[in-house]
Structure 1
Amino acid sequence: MLRRTFLRSGGAAADAAFAGSPWHGTAPAGSGGGPTRQAPRVRAGDSPYGPLGAPDANGISLPAGFTSRIVARSGEKVGGLTWHAAPDGGACFPDGDGWIYVSNCEVPLLGGASAIRFGPGGEVREAYRILSGTDLNRAGGATPWHTWLSCEEIPRGQVFECDPYGGRAAMPRLAMGRFRHEAAACDPERRVIYMTEDEPDGCFYRFVPIVWGDLTEGRLEVLCDPVGTGPGAKAAPGPVSWEPVPSPAAIGTPARHQVPRAVHFAGGEGCHYAGGICYFTSGGDNRVWAYDAAAGMLEIVYDGDAPLRGVDDITGTRGGDLFVAETGGLMEIGIISREGVVAPFLRVTGQDRSQITGTAFSPDGSRLYFSSRRGPSGAREGTGGITYEVTGPFRD
């Protein structure tokens, strides 16, 4: 069943005003800003890219005009680096005449993140580590100043700010809170960073840095019910507000339990910001949410049993389409189109015990990267992980 929906999307314009950033100085495409559009009610239907074809040589079913290739396999060399197990959250960054794809590693104690540098034709130039020695690095998010926020999905987990270009050491950003971090998305208009929490009663947070572009100091806030329905209130569509988290370090009481009016979500997963809206998923109830930052409203984009199952990672195109990856289910990446249609975009066959992670578009929007975290083996440790690239006529 599909309930009432709300969907806006935006262009690729970005706000690059982040005075004081110690990192890089221009904003990547798709990092926020731009006009918003109201879309029709979401409904299951035909994909704007057409039906899926038969599985290709890589076991990927795609619409006509699209092709796939394997970029990296866990335990095998790519660009001089042994690719990590359990590839998870990812993002792309511009790099001269090429680009960089960053991937987290969801392995206990050894986690971290790696990067692959591509040339203008998609050839692999090199690969290297950008973070090591962390724990269960799950999703994360890119910043407008070209850094990667790698998030630990453990109790009292941290956010590490990493340099995808490999020139600076990764740094923990303690002011962003200690909790089971999942994903992060930057809002350059309000100069905040939204974050999800993968707990059965997880919260939705935002970090307000003192200086935009410098994450060493700031205020952690949690999304709240302004009416105040009481502790443990489940999230529901309607007006929302923000309140500071008294103790972001969560030494005694977990961050999600510190504010009585905080609203709770059934396992926060992916997070994506575009055009004034922050979209995020909750895997426990298979929902895609939309927080309208200007209106201070929370809405449900998708709430159903099909065609999206086990919603997890989420990203978007410059043209306003959302791409949502499944954990389990049919191992599909689905599209929620700017016209309001929900349909499969691709399917991975023969890997039913895996999950799709790390969805990210190249800076020019022509290539989609993602990983099968466990690969065909389905091994819990993710030693069979595979990272893919899909190329084709994505809509602007």
Structure 2
Amino acid sequence: MDRRTVLRATVAGGAAAFSGSLWAGAALAAPAQPGPGPYGNLLAADANGIHLPAGFSSRVIARSGQRVAGTSYVWHWAPDGGACFPAGDGWIYVSNSEVPLIGGASAVRFRADGSIATAYRILGGTNVNCAGGATPWGTWLSCEEVPLGRVFETWPDGSRSAEERTRMGRFTHEAAACDPDRRVIYLTEDESDGCFYRFVPDTWGDLRTGQVQVLCAPANATSGPVTWQNIPDRDGFPIPTRFQVGAAKHFDGGEGCWYDRGTCWFTTKGDNRVWAYDAVNQRIDLAYDDSLVPAGTAPLTGVDNITGTAGGDLYVAEDGGNMEVCVITPAGVVAPFLRIDGQSSSEITGPAFSPDGSRLYFSSQRGTSGNSTGSGGITYEVTGPFRR
């Protein structure tokens, strides 16, 4: 009996015991399993090629290489990680650009009625800006996904120039998630043997100084207690940060990261997993693993960016797969929320909800063309009766 068969049998026996909320603690009785989604089945594709449940609609916000509607600003190539921020009586959606050398990030500002007010650049001249994370004080951390990559703190309203935050470590950065309760920032690393880090600033709200730490646990552990150890050299040269602490646990391609009420959820693309770090009890568990569902039934593959709602639903975007955003509910059910047609050479990036939770933003990084440069990227908005 192979590993997948054994794990499926384990889940089949334990699934009935799983009835609590994901937010009730990371020590789940079993990872999420396929089932009926909270919004019902997906309907036929709309005019934008997006399959959505009844009651939801989509619109195109921006296309790479073209002016954002109603503005003179040309939207960046290869849109990636993103987040939303309140701004006056409207809001701002920030999006990274995952291209070499010019990278950076752009922003679209919306009025209260959802119309576009303006669009502009908030970061430029950086390298392969993949994901990042929002801070409680209203800035966007834009992360470079290259060896010795840096974190840049940016101001979504464009009121200040971006500032480099190299004290947060030099490595192949992916995403960041702020934990205001413990006053740390969790960081993922996009390497096949990457690590999961946290940055402990000397002063909360000031990221100029602090300590980088790495999560430590047995190499094959998928659940159980963990510890944290200081990284001796955050600059990562000549020894990369992931190799500096022998007890560090390695993860297969760290991607998205999302914190909520004591749990930091992060994804690993190499093994299609969603992990739950229980920050209160300092332990890790699996929230989803495609090898732990019956063969051929996994709705979520190509696990990548992640976001969540105030009501406890997680939304996970696919890099490849069948170009879906899937929802993982607090009841432990995973199901497709949307699917994009005709863009199999792309990936879904940057999922983020408007501050009131009524709109979901995301991008198809390479669109129908499959090209990271040029006019391939498309940024969308979905509106509807989201659970909040």
Shared fold (TM-score greater than 0.5)?
yes
* Structure 2 match to 1:15: none
More divergent stretch after superposition (379-388 vs 353-362): 379-388
Q: RMSD between aligned alpha carbons? A: 1.7
The whole-number CA distance in structure 1 between the counterparts of 2:170 and 2:209 is: 14
What displacement does 1:236 show? 2.6
Which of 65, 87, 93 is matched with 1:95 structurally?
A: 87
* Structure 1 match to 2:34: 44
What displacement does 1:360 show? 0.1
Amino acid of the residue matched to residue 159 of structure 1?
Answer: V
The whole-number CA distance in structure 1 between the counterparts of 2:47 and 2:310 is: 29
* Structure 2 match to 1:200: 192
SS, match of residue 264 in structure 1: coil
What displacement does 1:285 show? 0.4
More divergent stretch after superposition (286-295 vs 235-244): 235-244
> Size of the alignment, in residue pairs?
366
What displacement does 1:380 show? 4.0
Verify the 8 A CA contact 1:331 1:355 in the aligned structure 2.
Answer: yes
Instruction: Write out per-residue CA displacement over residues 111-132 of structure 1, whole angstroms, 9 at most, x where no aligned residue.
Output: 0000000001110000010000
Q: 1:235 to 1:84 in 2, by over 3 A?
A: farther
Instruction: Write out per-residue CA displacement over residues 157-212 of structure 1, whole angstroms, 9 at most, x where no aligned residue.
Output: 00000000100010010110000000000000000000000000000000000000
Q: 1:63 to 1:129 in 2, by over 3 A?
A: same
* Structure 1 match to 2:328: 336
Verify the 8 A CA contact 1:36 1:275 in the aligned structure 2.
Answer: no
What displacement does 1:39 show? 7.2
What displacement does 1:43 show? 1.6
* Structure 2 match to 1:24: none
What displacement does 1:343 show? 0.4
Q: Does 1:154 align with 2:136?
A: no
Q: 1:285 to 1:210 in 2, by over 3 A?
A: same
What displacement does 1:382 show? 6.2
**Superposed counterparts of 1:64-213, under 5 Å:** 64-78=54-68, 79-213=71-205
Which of 274, 287, 303 is matched with 1:301 structurally?
A: 287
Verify the 8 A CA contact 1:136 1:152 in the aligned structure 2.
Answer: yes
* Structure 2 match to 1:57: 47
Instruction: Write out per-residue CA displacement over residues 37-63 of structure 1, whole angstroms, 9 at most, x where no aligned residue.
Output: 987742210001110000000000000
The whole-number CA distance in structure 1 between the counterparts of 2:21 and 2:363 is: 27
Q: 1:54 to 1:286 in 2, by over 3 A?
A: same
Verify the 8 A CA contact 1:331 1:347 in the aligned structure 2.
Answer: yes
Q: 1:76 to 1:284 in 2, by over 3 A?
A: same
SS, match of residue 81 in structure 2: strand
Verify the 8 A CA contact 1:71 1:389 in the aligned structure 2.
Answer: yes
Q: Relative to total residues, which structure has the larger helix share, 1 or 2?
A: 2
Which of 277, 294, 297 is matched with 2:263 structurally?
A: 277
The whole-number CA distance in structure 1 between the counterparts of 2:269 and 2:21 is: 21
What displacement does 1:8 show? 5.1
* Structure 2 match to 1:291: 277
Q: Does 1:395 align with 2:387?
A: yes
Instruction: Write out per-residue CA displacement over residues 328-351 of structure 1, whole angstroms, 9 at most, x where no aligned residue.
Output: 010000000111111000000000
Where does structure 1 differ by over 3 angstroms across 4 or more consecutive aligned residues? 1-10, 35-41, 380-383
* Structure 1 match to 2:304: 312
SS, match of residue 256 in structure 1: helix
* Structure 2 match to 1:365: 357
More divergent stretch after superposition (134-143 vs 36-45): 36-45
Q: Does 1:217 align with 2:203?
A: no
Verify the 8 A CA contact 2:273 2:290 in the aligned structure 1.
Answer: yes
More divergent stretch after superposition (164-173 vs 297-306): 297-306
Which of 235, 240, 253 is matched with 1:249 structurally?
A: 235
More divergent stretch after superposition (72-81 vs 86-95): 72-81
SS, match of residue 188 in structure 2: strand
Verify the 8 A CA contact 1:105 1:111 in the aligned structure 2.
Answer: yes
The whole-number CA distance in structure 2 between the counterparts of 1:43 and 1:116 is: 36
Verify the 8 A CA contact 1:40 1:339 in the aligned structure 2.
Answer: no
SS, match of residue 100 in structure 1: strand
Q: Does 1:262 align with 2:248?
A: yes
The whole-number CA distance in structure 1 between the counterparts of 2:74 and 2:106 is: 10
More divergent stretch after superposition (73-82 vs 83-92): 73-82
Amino acid of the residue matched to residue 285 of structure 2?
Answer: E
SS, match of residue 252 in structure 1: coil
Verify the 8 A CA contact 1:287 1:300 in the aligned structure 2.
Answer: yes
The whole-number CA distance in structure 2 between the counterparts of 1:236 and 1:38 is: 11
The whole-number CA distance in structure 2 between the counterparts of 1:214 and 1:380 is: 34
Verify the 8 A CA contact 2:140 2:153 in the aligned structure 1.
Answer: yes
What displacement does 1:383 show? 3.6
* Structure 1 match to 2:295: none
Verify the 8 A CA contact 1:39 1:339 in the aligned structure 2.
Answer: no
Gaps of 5+ in 2: 292-297
